[in-house]
Amino acid sequence: MRLARAIAKHNKLYHAEDTPEISDADYDALVRRNNVLEEAFPHLVRDDSPNKLVGAAVAASPLSKVAHEQRMYSLDNGFSDEDIAEWLARVRRFLNLPEDAPVAVTAEDKIDGLSCSLRYEKGELVLAATRGDGQVGEDVTANVRMISDIPEILSVSAEPVEARLSDEKRPSTGSGLTVSAAIPDLFEIRGEVYMAKADFDGLNSRLMEEGKAEAKAKGVEFDPEKIRQFANPRNAAAGSLRQKDANITAQRPLKFWAHGWGVHSALPGETSFAVAKAIESWGVPVSPLVQRFETLEQILTHYRHIEAERADLPYDIDGVVYKVDRLDWQQRLGFVAKAPRWALAHKFPAEQAQTTLESIDIQVGRTGKLTPVGRLKPVTVGGVVVSNVTLHNRDEIERLGVRPGDRVVIQRAGDVIPQVVENLTRDDPRKAYDFPDHCPKCNSEAVAEEGEVDVRCTGGLICPAQRFQRLIHFVSRVALDIDGLGEKSIAEFIDAGFIESPADIFRLHQHRDEILVREGWQEKSVDNLFAAVEKKRQPDAARLLFGLGIRHIGTVTARDLLKNFTTLQKVQEIADLAIESQEYRSSRAQSRDEDGEQDVSTLLDTNGSEPDTKETESEAHGDGDAAWAEIISIDGVGPTVAQALADFFHEPHNRAVWDDLLSEVSPPDYIVETRDSAVAGKIVVFTGKLETMSRDEAKAQAEALGAKASGSVSAKTDLLVAGPGAGSKMKKAEALGIEVIDEAAWAEIVAAAG
């Protein structure tokens, strides 16, 4: 569970805030560990699993938000030859192909940039948007128009771009296809905005020189520490593209190349390779190294050639992307929650360097988690100077045996802060690092719960760090999304005593005169802030629930709860009942026993009570057990979430915060969107041998139509699709009066839904 939370945090830092704290290799390792656990324990899969999420929600920004008509997905990763072979095997199994059937694949280098979607209507650029969380991005149309690589008007040309890979190293595959295709009325080109290595160095040098000139003009001493330079080309590209002023973007040396497409009125080819060449013929750059292969050996040979020339390329790449070439096969393969089944990113191994760990600082998050951050003697790894590294938690520090002053090996894959992989001086006879047992911010006791490695401050909202971080989370883009309330303003209002809880935000107008006399605030900015707050008086119920920061309740779980209970009042009611369940009372009693305490209710049950009291308690237990069962029966919600929800409402202070907040806001009932298909909202089961598709493909079709694909027949099942050899499931369905159809009838349902 902590893996999913850590991955979500680092997703946000990388995709939304452009301030990553861990290396790509470290992030990929977290995801791999999470995948192994999810495969072994599918009932523990969380709503915020990295396998369900893409990128991160759009961060606070002056740019307007844009909903993608077709979702922008991420990619799954492979790290070894075996991973690539297994991916191809999965593709064959899904498509019901023989084990030795050839699967043509396109391969292109994976550039490290910022994903962007370009919408062309009748050949004219009308909209450009960043990926964001895959569903909502930022409108960067004005800025994109400043990038010379991106044409305002598409035009048909047959001039190919020469590949930069040296001839003697390129595998001979006959991939020199030139395509000239008519431009569709609607075509969305997707790709990466990036900055070349030389341009990145030049930009940082220019920023430093401009800082010197400004200091000289003001007659003050030049302080290079005050000059904001970019850490790496990706951050430079992201920061340059996401400017409020397009003129600043125009001064930045940004480039673009296409690697895919979104919505379209027509496709100029039947393969991924053909469409890429068509896009290139319209004047939009594509990877100069894109090629087509038909065997695993060719794919891996190409990967090694790219890896060998990686350092000499004029831009940063972190792997090679493979795509199933046939578009009809891509259509059948479809997508998992966050990525296409028909594509895979083959990542490069990490780079390493040695340096000294100078100190360890402790940061406190909104849930009280104490995170150790290592301060390094600056070192260059892969051309980037790094000086900070996350040490994750107490267990990781103990595993590595690191202490300030140790010589450590760090590694990096991509251009982000690296991880410590080895302590070269752990055998030195020096005292081990003492991880704090009290919060450095409020001095409350810091403990690790059973089964958790994270040490957390027990101070709750009396801890200024937690209170601050929780309020930041509440107003963030992924929660209530209140414009004008950022970290600086929240900190200022807390210090001034204007806000302590979420409800206080909606009473800020009571401090209008006091805010107006504070530095940096004027009537217009204050009125804009109050207007933004007022707009959130009727917030989305799921966002509000998520914004409260209840442990284990992420964005998806909050939506799942509201889909079932429709209002926050009903969520509270079901949680209040669940508090009386035997399951919850047992967990509370166990917790008290472990702390040397005993639940008063347990004593009453043990020592006896009046008959009418027992009867009342029995009725309460019955209602509570039913409520607990109802919560954990929700798809994607389990006992951990039920426990967290009950814990939240069991705490009187939390209930006071909840009641106070709901006195200020009125969230409307949650509306569940339904798909227009004959099976939307129904439970479908597949049995027997399917002849035209694999079982996985059939389940994917059902989910795409808004149905739930189940593996077992019960009274709740609405439809059974039976192939040859259907046995006990079909008999049970017939006995229960469940509708049974064959594979051909299912195909008609799919076709009718379009």
Q: Whole-angstrom Cα distance, residue 386 to residue 20?
A: 12
Two tokens, residue 457: 């401050």
Label residue 218 exposed, middle or buried (CB < 10 Å: 0-12, 13-18, 19+): exposed
Contact in structure between 474 and 489 (CB atoms under 8 Å)? no
Contact in structure between 84 and 208 (CB atoms under 8 Å)? no
Q: Whole-angstrom Cα distance, residue 17 to residue 238?
A: 9
In the chain, the largest separation of any two C-alpha atoms, in whole Å, equals 91
DSSP-derived secondary structure letter, 70: S
616 SS3 class: helix
* Alpha helices (H) in 651-694, listed in sequence order: 652-662
Nearest to 453 by CA among 391, 399, 396, 372: 396
DSSP-derived secondary structure letter, 12: I
Q: How far apart are the first and last CA of the chain?
A: 38
- Amino acid in position 482: I
Q: Whole-angstrom Cα distance, residue 134 to residue 73?
A: 6
Contacts of 399 by beta carbon, 8 Å cutoff, 6+ apart: none
Nearest to 212 by CA among 199, 200, 227: 227
Q: Whole-angstrom Cα distance, residue 343 to residue 87?
A: 9
Measure the CA dihedral 594/599/602/606, to 10°.
80
Please state the three-class secondary structure of 326-349 as a single string. EHHHHHHHCECCCCECCEEEEECC
Residue of 110, 323, 699, 732 marked active site = 110
For CA atoms 264, 266, 272, 273, the dihedral sign is negative
Task: Tell me, yes or no, if 65 is annotated catalytic.
Answer: no
For CA atoms 492, 497, 501, 503, the dihedral sign is negative
Nearest to 252 by CA among 387, 128, 126, 114: 114
For CA atoms 383, 389, 391, 397, the dihedral sign is positive
Active site amino acids: 110
